[in-house]
């Protein structure tokens, strides 16, 4: 009974910390969170214009901040920067990294961020180079690892049913598999391209130039990159100065507001993946 009550109090405590603080509660100088969009997961959505012909229906100058591949030794600096501006983000965690640093997973949750899954191993050849059963097993192992690290135990339905494919390399079969699991797949609308070596200043300028052109969108960063951790405080201040507003996405009742791609849309990632993987079978 004592163990059961301890788990209950832990869950209540995490839920209290996870309540998003909107911009008005953070002081006039903080960027904050302007609003929250609930993602219901029931429609098997795949979002992000770099990969899919639909995205979240964001308003002009609204952004969603997402981070991949952590947690890592650079994650605390990212969390510190977000906390100073009362900003909430979504972290797509590699399962083995979550196992190695469960304290950071719990810190993300306690700070009000969402933690989604990014597979267990982030395979070098992406999930497309694996058999369907092996890919599904890596997905499930990753989900379970994040749940154990963040909440103490794996459950049939993850607390945050968000998933991002490594290298954006999805397949029709795996998209159907995740839809049946009521998981929402996140691509991105804009990239920080922080997988390339650059200075923090160059990365900030690149993100802002892309954002000034697109005017809104889901942005992809990596909290494993030191350049991202170093440039994030300045980027958040610049977002505030330029009139951008941060939207947090969380699991919740729908319908999820979705916007279709403009006429003539083409996937950016499809050509990149095809060039990288050659003619490997898409299962």
Q: Where in the sequence numbering do the catalytic residues fall?
A: 68, 222
Pairing verdict, β 258-260 and 54-56: antiparallel
Q: Using an 8 Å Cβ cutoff, are 240 and 27 in contact?
A: no
Q: What six digits make up the tokens of 147?
A: 């749940």
Which residues are CB-neighbours of 247 under 8 A, at least 6 positions away? 33, 34, 35, 36, 37, 56, 58, 62, 63, 64
At 146, which helix (H) or strand (E)?
A: helix 132-151
> Any idea what DSSP says for residue 23?
G
* Residue where the block lists tokens 């903080």: 30
Q: Nearest Cα to 110, choosing from 74, 83, 84, 92? A: 83
* Residue where the block lists tokens 């694996």: 130
Is residue 208 helix, strand or coil? helix
């Amino acid at each position: 009974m004592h163990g059961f009550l301890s788990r209950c109090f832990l869950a209540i405590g995490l839920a209290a910390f996870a309540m998003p603080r909107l911009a008005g509660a953070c002081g006039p100088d903080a960027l904050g969170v302007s609003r929250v969009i609930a993602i219901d997961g029931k429609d098997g959505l795949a979002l992000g214009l770099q990969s899919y012909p639909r995205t979240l229906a964001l308003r002009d100058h609204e952004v969603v901040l997402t981070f991949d591949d952590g947690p890592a030794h650079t994650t605390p600096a990212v969390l510190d920067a977000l906390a100073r501006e009362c900003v909430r983000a979504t972290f797509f965690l590699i399962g083995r990294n979550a196992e190695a640093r469960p304290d950071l997973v719990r810190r993300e949750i306690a700070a009000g961020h969402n933690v989604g899954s990014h597979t267990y191993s982030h395979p070098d050849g992406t999930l497309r180079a694996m058999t369907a059963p092996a890919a599904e097993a890596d997905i499930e192992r990753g989900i379970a690892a994040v749940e154990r690290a963040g909440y103490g135990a794996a459950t049939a339905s993850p607390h945050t049913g968000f998933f991002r494919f490594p290298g954006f390399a999805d397949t029709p079969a795996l998209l159907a598999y995740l839809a049946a699991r009521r998981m929402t797949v996140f691509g991105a609308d804009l990239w920080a391209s922080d997988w390339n070596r650059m200075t923090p200043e160059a990365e900030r300028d690149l993100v802002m130039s892309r954002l000034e052109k697109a005017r809104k969108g889901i942005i992809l960063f990596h909290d494993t990159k030191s350049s991202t951790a170093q440039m994030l405080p300045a980027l958040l201040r610049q977002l505030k100065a330029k009139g951008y507003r941060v939207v947090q996405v969380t699991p919740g009742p729908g319908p999820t507001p979705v916007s279709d791609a403009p006429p003539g849309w083409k996937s950016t990632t499809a050509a990149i993946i095809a060039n990288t993987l050659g003619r490997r079978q898409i299962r």
